[in-house]
Amino acid sequence: MHIPVLLEEAVVLWGGLEGGEERPQEGIYIDATFGEGGHSMELLKRAKEQKIKIIGFDLDKVRIKKGEEKYKEEIKNKKLYLISQSFQNIQNAIESLRKKEDFRGLPVLGVLFDLGFCSTQLEEGRGFSFSDKEASLDMRFNSSDKEILNASEILNSYSKEDLEKIIREYGEEKFARLIAGAVIKARQEGEEFKKVGDLYQILEKTVGRFYRKYHIHFATRTFQGIRIAVNGEREAIEKGLEGAKNIVSGGGNLVAISFHSGEDRMVKQFFKLHSKECICPENFPICRCDHERTLRIITKKPIVASKEELLINPRARSAKLRAAQKII
């Protein structure tokens, strides 16, 4: 089961309810990471009779198919529209959708990003979880995408330097060099990386002992790094945030929940950059940039889960929510 993280906090900000309003205003609300639909259904519940339309994106076709079956009524009543695409195409996708009769004249009033993966995806034998040792090392959110390398192809083909880079930069793993070296050595000895267990064993042998004193599992960071590389997650977030900023109307909110420091840094820097009047170097006597302030940061510090939430949802422990409002 997937329990939506920071549900109340996210829905209040996504729905523009932070001033105490009871219902979201009439308009379009985009759920960039639909998943199991937890946040979307909560916003629809809050809307009651108010005419809001949610457009949900997910790169994972399994999530979209499941959503289409589970939320037939909402789809039939034109409250929910599901799109099997990456949020990195959010701007183009929304611009063409808004030409359709259903959306004409409606402003986009909020965009929510709940990054990463759902708990349900961990249970589908797709290589996201290191507890299922027999699962294939895939890790693609869109498992029919032949254009990208899956985890097994990355482990079997990348150079030592490239492996070290993704494990260090995306996984924030300080033993990245050791791990990359061990993968290359195993390959030279004829090992092929096919199943989760193949990578798990190498990690256990190489860094298992160093992790005994830490609270984090020795495989977590390497799996995270490889998953981010497989799905091009950094680039998708960059394009997704930019697209979301461009399509949301003045007064609408952008909300992002991230689960590790690399993601959170991207969101924080993006909001900071677009909330500045000028981005000239400090030593410039007069402003020479054409930068325009488009956002107002709502959350000076990120919102984190309460003790009560952590008791029922341990996945929330690393979640950080940031929000910003479009001002023009």
Which residue number, 28 or 183, has a Cβ lying nearer to ligand SAM?
28
Which residue number, 4 or 225, has a Cβ lying nearer to ligand SAM?
4
* Residue 326, token pair as written in the block: 């479009």
Sole binder of ligand SAM in the list 6, 39, 183, 203 (CB under 6 A): 39
Q: How far is the CB of 58 from ligand SAM (least distance, A)?
A: 4
Q: Assign 295 to helix, strand or coil.
A: strand
Which residue number, 90 or 186, has a Cβ lying nearer to ligand SAM?
90
Residue 69's CB is within 10 A of a number of other CB atoms, namely 9
Judge residue 27's burial from the number of C-beta atoms within 10 Å of its C-beta, 0-12 exposed, 13-18 middle, 19 or more buried.
buried
Is 33 a residue that touches ligand SAM (CB under 6 A)?
Answer: yes
Sole binder of ligand SAM in the list 9, 74, 114, 263 (CB under 6 A): 114
Is 60 a residue that touches ligand SAM (CB under 6 A)?
Answer: yes
Piece of the chain touching ligand SAM by CB under 6 A; list 34-42, 128-136, 248-256, 301-309: 34-42
Cα separation values, 278 from 184, 244, 271, 286, Å = 47, 21, 14, 10
Question: For 277, which DSSP code?
Answer: S
Is 63 a residue that touches ligand SAM (CB under 6 A)?
Answer: yes
Beta strands in the chain (DSSP E): 27-31, 52-57, 80-83, 108-114, 253-258, 295-297, 320-326
Sole binder of ligand SAM in the list 37, 110, 171, 262 (CB under 6 A): 37
Question: For 28, which DSSP code?
Answer: E
Q: How far is the CB of 39 from ligand SAM (least distance, A)?
A: 4
Is 110 a residue that touches ligand SAM (CB under 6 A)?
Answer: no
Which residue number, 183 or 319, has a Cβ lying nearer to ligand SAM?
319
Distance from C-alpha of 86 to C-alpha of 93, rounded to nearest angstrom: 10
Which residue number, 179 or 319, has a Cβ lying nearer to ligand SAM?
319
Is 118 a residue that touches ligand SAM (CB under 6 A)?
Answer: yes
Sole binder of ligand SAM in the list 47, 59, 207, 228 (CB under 6 A): 59
Q: How far is the CB of 261 from ligand SAM (least distance, A)?
A: 17
Piece of the chain touching ligand SAM by CB under 6 A; list 36-44, 70-78, 95-103, 180-188: 36-44
Please give the torsion angle defined by the CA atoms of residues 189, 195, 199 and 200, in that order, rounded to the nearest 10 degrees: -130
Which residue number, 2 or 168, has a Cβ lying nearer to ligand SAM?
2
Please give the residues from 187 up to 216 whose contact with ligand SAM meets the rule CB under 6 A: none
Q: How far is the CB of 276 from ligand SAM (least distance, A)?
A: 27
Distance from C-alpha of 30 to C-alpha of 244, rounded to nearest angstrom: 9
Sole binder of ligand SAM in the list 17, 25, 58, 168 (CB under 6 A): 58
- The helices-and-strands tally (H runs, E runs) of the chain is 14, 7
Which residue number, 16 or 37, has a Cβ lying nearer to ligand SAM?
37
Please give the residues from 131 up to 160 whose contact with ligand SAM meets the rule CB under 6 A: 141
* Residue 102, token pair as written in the block: 């259903």
- Cβ pair 170, 234 in contact under 8 A: yes
Distance from C-alpha of 23 to C-alpha of 15, rounded to nearest angstrom: 8
Sole binder of ligand SAM in the list 47, 176, 236, 303 (CB under 6 A): 236
- Cβ pair 193, 152 in contact under 8 A: yes
Judge residue 283's burial from the number of C-beta atoms within 10 Å of its C-beta, 0-12 exposed, 13-18 middle, 19 or more buried.
exposed
Sole binder of ligand SAM in the list 14, 29, 117, 175 (CB under 6 A): 117
Q: Which chain residues interact with ligand SAM by CB under 6 A?
A: 2, 4, 33, 35-39, 57-60, 63, 86-88, 114, 116-118, 141, 236
